[in-house]
Amino acid sequence: MPTMPEEKIRVNARIPKSLYDFVCSKYDNISQAINIGLENLKKSKTEDCHTPADSSTQDDINPVVHTDIQALTERTEEQKARIEEYKAHVQTLNTEITRLQNLIMEAPDPIELVKLQERNEGLNLLIEEKNKRIEELNQHNENMSAFANYFKSNEPKLLEAPAAEKIKPWYKFW
């Protein structure tokens, strides 16, 4: 009786490039390498199927993965350090923003400041006018004092009273 060929199932897997190159150098095609590898796994007496087997192929993969993991870990640490620096910088900037907001709140209103400046200028003009008027009054006072001294020094002369006019009564008009 002729033997019937075994039924076959298609298997796909993603493997590292280094493992693929190694398998292609040892076997004619990838299907043959997978079949032999799975038969060896079946014959081995390991109980845990998820544990990687000790083989030269695993040793070839481990250093590559290990260096990749180390590089990623270093990059992650560098990025964490940069994030911390950014957080500190953001905190500094937030403090500066708060300080400037407080300064703005304490600063006088520009419109009110302009009004006060105008009022100050007006008051300064009034003060200048007042000082000029005081100077004029002081000058006038000095002049009046000079005239007063002149009149005090001269003796007054008596004037004669004018002669009395004859006034006619109203009913005597001619």
Q: Read off the pLDDT of residues 114-147 as tens digits, 9 standing for 90 and up.
A: 899 999 999 999 999 999 999 999 999 888 887 7
Distance of CA 42 to the CA centre of its chain: 67
| pLDDT reported for residue 95 | 95
Q: Is residue 154 pLDDT above 80, yes or no?
A: no
pLDDT tens digits along 70-123 = 888 999 999 999 999 999 999 999 999 999 999 888 887 888 888 999 999 999
Q: d(Cα 147, Cα 120) in Å, to the nearest integer?
A: 41
Q: Where are the domains of the chain?
A: 11-53, 58-107, 110-149
pLDDT tens-digit series, residues 15-70: 888 888 888 888 888 888 888 888 888 887 655 555 555 555 555 556 777 788 88
Q: How many helices (H) and strands (E) does the chain have?
A: 4, 0
Place of tokens 């270093």: 74
Write down the pLDDT at residue 124: 95
